[in-house]
Structure 1
Amino acid sequence: MTMRKIVLTCSLFLLLFICIPVFAQDVHPDATIIQQHVNFLAADKMKGRGTGSRGLKKAARYIERRFKKYGLTPAGTRKFKQPFTAKVKKVVVKDSIRKANNIIGFLDNGAPYTIVIGAHYDHLGTGKQGSSKHPQPEGLIHNGADDNASGVAGLLELARYFSGNGETEAYNFLFIAFSAEELGLLGSRYFTEHPVILLENIHFMLNMDMIGRYNPERGIGIGGYGTSSKWPAIFEGVKAGVKFFTDNAGSGGSDHGSFYAKQIPVLFFHTGGHPDYHMPSDDADKVNAEAEAKIIALEIQLIENAMEQEKLPFTEVKN
């Protein structure tokens, strides 16, 4: 082989070696990654992620590490944390006030408006803070795999996708893991009363609460369809690997309700109730990660369609 051919061969090899990794990264929703998130957050060692507990602090650190890995900018008042005080409904008096933190990361695309993606990361702990469906809940670990480790997994997968897809989107993203949702939407209410960005600059808010127990007969419910006149056009032509249906309501028993109350369009994703809801039996092995990956892919389609629109107008939903 001549020296010229050797140089040419080496040059082609180097070009391939340099270029291949650029195209090798796949940031699309991944069932294995989803299950890993759920397994960690809903493990017995987390003790049910009760508000103010060590387990919830561990969960917060886990979310922060992922936000850092995905290159998000800290957007809380203490780096990624937005601290607030939460009142617990049913415990001994000395433990009725607890410190809590929303975890907030920002993806800055240099845009004037921002999309908020949210999911609560707290649950019922060991049954002492109320809301358990078990007849004798105290001392029992409520792992909250579906409610709402599944939603946090969705939050992290959307953060991974939009931070790693190589696109400079037309909107910024604010990713928020809310605390103290189970105590009455306290984290999201605190955020909307103490926002880190102007509420009038929010395009819309997307909330995931219990998206891990997909039932193909029911499908995934998507609330908030009536909160903007533009949602029908955004949903038009969307194809999903899961069945879905829409509901107009913007309020309800999850964190999107706090944003709807501030006249911000919302979408709420929820796979429905089941016998393990608010029970110690809501465990990680019951989550359908394959279906959840398809649900997150559906969310990506809707978000990308919504980014083709100007800032969404708000519509109040009539009862």
Structure 2
Amino acid sequence: MKTKSTFYFCIALSLLFLAPIRSAWAQINQDNLKKHIYYLADDKMKGRATGSKEVKKAAKYIEKHFKKYGLAPKGEKGYRQSFTAKVRRVVVPDSLRPADNIIGYLDNGAPQTIVVGAHYDHLGHGTFGGSRDTLHIGEIHNGADDNASGVAGLLELARHYATNEEKEPFNFLFIAFGAEELGLLGSKYWTENPTIPLENIHWMLNMDMIGRYNPDNGLAVIGYGTSSKFPAIFKDITSDIKFNLSKDGNGGSDQTSFYKKDIPVLFFHTGGHDDYHKTGDDPEKIDYKAMQSILQLEIDVLNNSMKQDKMDFQWTN
């Protein structure tokens, strides 16, 4: 017959073995990154052009995972914030196109919120402007790096913070932006029609093209100068990848919309490459191991930022 002390010892021992399994589940997972990118950048998704049925499938995929991770809807209708996007670079008969931001909220009951974002649209067949592949206009531009990689990062960070069994001292708002390729339209729309008060935002992290790490150049971390708190946040951070800190808050991606609203930002970006906005931006060319390191670096930055009081904002130009 087991004694009471033996019983409690067995429970403690079982919890000891269970704890690492749970915490490991919350770690960044290369297989998940690969699954997301191969889905979003498959030929069947036809380049996820704004207004297409394929970009709507991508939106449903993101929404499904937000639900799976237990994020609360924080759009204007469930997870969705709908708006109209206009094609301006070229003349097309369907210049006005429906678009959606997909928004999930991790509510930790905190007064301040960190926004994590990435755009999920791409160029479709390259027929509405933006393609650098002039010999292959009309062919599918899969956009594995731009920006299925950022969406995969968004989903993994959402999963990490939703399943790490910790209640952080900040809330998280995860936003998959629509119509970025038409001129940052999704992030512009959200910052003009925010679903949480802008004054309650601690800062914003954006991921756009984080899948083609080049060790010669390193990872660009743009926006370091947008708050006086970033030097303290980065002070003791190390990584197995090289990263370079840049002060400017402006740039060709969605963090710019937040910067223009006096919100501190960081933009993670592995740089341009020969397949940028071309038909060769495919999933097999992504460096999934480096992506895992980039996301771990982002977690370290996010965690350090939660040790700071409300972030102040600084203009960088």
Question: Which interval holds the TM-score relative to the shorter structure?
Answer: over 0.9
Inter-CA distance 108–160: structure 2 relative to 1 (3 Å threshold): same
- Distance in 2 between the 1:14 and 1:58 partners? 45
Q: 1:230-241 alignment to 2 at 5 Å? A: 230-241=229-240
Q: 1:20-35 alignment to 2 at 5 Å? A: 20-25=17-22, 26=24, 27-35=26-34
Normalised by the length of structure 2, the TM-score is 0.95
Deviation at 1:28, TM superposition (A): 1.2
Q: Which residue of 2 aligns with 1:227?
A: 226
- Distance in 1 between the 2:5 and 2:167 partners? 36
Deviation at 1:17, TM superposition (A): 5.5
Q: Which residue of 2 aligns with 1:182?
A: 181
Inter-CA distance 299–89: structure 2 relative to 1 (3 Å threshold): same
Q: Residues 113 and 201 of structure 1 are in contact (CA less than 8 Å); yes or no, is this contact kept in structure 2? A: yes
Unpaired runs of 5+ in structure 1? none
- Distance in 2 between the 1:180 and 1:267 partners? 20
- Distance in 1 between the 2:51 and 2:240 partners? 38
Question: Does residue 192 of the first structure (1) align with residue 191 of the second (2)?
Answer: yes
Give CA-to-partner distance per residue, 1:22-62, whole Å, 9 cap, x none. Answer: 43122111111111111100000000000011111111111
Which one-letter code corresponds to 1:287 in the other structure?
I
- Distance in 1 between the 2:42 and 2:150 partners? 15
Q: 1:129-208 alignment to 2 at 5 Å? A: 129-208=128-207
Inter-CA distance 169–7: structure 2 relative to 1 (3 Å threshold): closer
- Distance in 2 between the 1:303 and 1:137 partners? 40
- After superposition, the CA RMSD in angstroms is 1.8
- Distance in 2 between the 1:201 and 1:92 partners? 40
- Distance in 2 between the 1:16 and 1:74 partners? 38
Give CA-to-partner distance per residue, 1:133-181, whole Å, 9 cap, x none. Answer: 0113432000000000000011011101111111111110000000000
- Distance in 2 between the 1:160 and 1:40 partners? 17
Residue aligned with 1:136, SS: helix
Q: Residues 87 and 182 of structure 2 are in contact (CA less than 8 Å); yes or no, is this contact kept in structure 1? A: yes
Deviation at 1:237, TM superposition (A): 1.0
Q: 1:29-48 alignment to 2 at 5 Å? A: 29-48=28-47
Inter-CA distance 312–9: structure 2 relative to 1 (3 Å threshold): closer
Q: Residues 131 and 137 of structure 2 are in contact (CA less than 8 Å); yes or no, is this contact kept in structure 1? A: no
Residue aligned with 1:85, SS: strand
Deviation at 1:92, TM superposition (A): 5.6
Residue aligned with 1:29, SS: coil
Which shifted more, 9-18 or 166-175? 9-18
- Distance in 2 between the 1:292 and 1:238 partners? 17
Which one-letter code corresponds to 2:140 in the other structure?
I
Residue aligned with 1:118, SS: strand
Inter-CA distance 10–314: structure 2 relative to 1 (3 Å threshold): closer
- Distance in 1 between the 2:226 and 2:186 partners? 22
Q: Residues 51 and 179 of structure 1 are in contact (CA less than 8 Å); yes or no, is this contact kept in structure 2? A: yes
Q: 1:37-186 alignment to 2 at 5 Å? A: 37-90=36-89, 93-186=92-185
| Identical aligned residues as a percent | 57
Normalised by the length of structure 1, the TM-score is 0.94
Deviation at 1:89, TM superposition (A): 2.7
Inter-CA distance 15–234: structure 2 relative to 1 (3 Å threshold): closer
Deviation at 1:93, TM superposition (A): 4.0
Q: Which residue of 2 aligns with 1:244?
A: 243
Q: Residues 92 and 128 of structure 2 are in contact (CA less than 8 Å); yes or no, is this contact kept in structure 1? A: no
- Distance in 2 between the 1:157 and 1:6 partners? 44
- Distance in 1 between the 2:8 and 2:228 partners? 56
Q: Residues 90 and 96 of structure 1 are in contact (CA less than 8 Å); yes or no, is this contact kept in structure 2? A: no
Q: How many residues align?
A: 315
- Distance in 2 between the 1:90 and 1:221 partners? 28
Deviation at 1:117, TM superposition (A): 0.1
Deviation at 1:78, TM superposition (A): 1.1
Question: Does residue 255 of the first structure (1) align with residue 267 of the second (2)?
Answer: no
Residue aligned with 1:157, SS: helix
Q: Which residue of 1 aligns with 2:210?
A: 211
Question: Does residue 283 of the first structure (1) align with residue 287 of the second (2)?
Answer: no
Deviation at 1:21, TM superposition (A): 3.8
- Distance in 2 between the 1:234 and 1:256 partners? 19
- Distance in 1 between the 2:185 and 2:198 partners? 17
Q: Residues 144 and 283 of structure 1 are in contact (CA less than 8 Å); yes or no, is this contact kept in structure 2? A: yes
- Distance in 2 between the 1:158 and 1:317 partners? 28
Residue aligned with 2:205, SS: strand
